[in-house]
Amino acid sequence: MDIGMKAPDFELKNSEGESVSLESFRGKKVVLYFYPKDNTPGCTRQACAFGADYGEYKKLGAEVIGISRDSVNSHKNFASKHSLPFILLSDPELEAIKAYGVWQEKKLYGKVSMGVVRTTFIIDENGIIRAVMPKVKPDTNSEDVLKLLMMDKQ
């Protein structure tokens, strides 16, 4: 996925089991972030940072959506445990994960496996990708996204 491309639409279940599509956010900016797994240290820090900054996103007219392979129930528990105010979507079939190119080979301690590479996309009101942030750091991702959105607003 590159800047200027139309963001692939998807329809996935949220933490309440309701279907959510990217198309339904047309007219709003969307911060779409893909992460490996609920309740792991990095993913929890990343999600909590987005949660803490969520008011700023709302002021900027942006919605935050997190996507991982975890189940609807896992997302529900994760969101509840950490009071996450934004949308988490379950993608066990890798529909959106593969469409956005974030299902990649990863190396950990010399072992190679396939997995979700932590990546964030900023999508504009017309469904066009305005920023691609690959291999983001969990601790600074939300802050970095907010800086980009604020620069864009000026």
Choose, from 7, 22, 31, 43, the residue flagged as catalytic. Answer: 43
pLDDT score recorded for residue 40:
95
Quick check: is 109 in a domain? yes
Quick check: is 55 in a domain? yes
Write out the two tokens for 32: 């779409």
Q: To the nearest 10°, report the CA torsion of 32, 137, 53, 63.
A: 0
Q: What angle do CA 102, 15, 126 make, to 5 degrees?
A: 55
Write out the two tokens for 2: 């590159």
Quick check: is 73 in a domain? yes
Quick check: is 117 in a domain? yes
pLDDT score recorded for residue 107:
85
pLDDT score recorded for residue 154:
63
pLDDT score recorded for residue 34:
98
Quick check: is 61 in a domain? yes
CB count within 10 Å of CB 69 equals 19
pLDDT score recorded for residue 153:
73
Domain enclosing residue 107, as ranges: 28-153
43 is catalytic: yes
pLDDT score recorded for residue 70:
98
Write out the two tokens for 36: 């490996």
pLDDT score recorded for residue 1:
82
**Domains of the chain: total:** 1
Name the pTM for this structure.
0.95
pLDDT score recorded for residue 114:
94
Quick check: is 21 in a domain? no
Write out the two tokens for 102: 């974030």
Q: What CATH number corresponds to the domain at position 92?
A: 3.40.30.10
Quick check: is 100 in a domain? yes
pLDDT in tens, the chain (154 residues): 899 999 999 999 999 999 999 999 999 999 999 999 999 999 999 999 999 999 999 999 999 999 999 999 999 999 999 999 999 999 999 999 999 999 999 888 889 999 999 999 999 999 999 999 999 999 999 999 999 999 877 6
Quick check: is 127 in a domain? yes
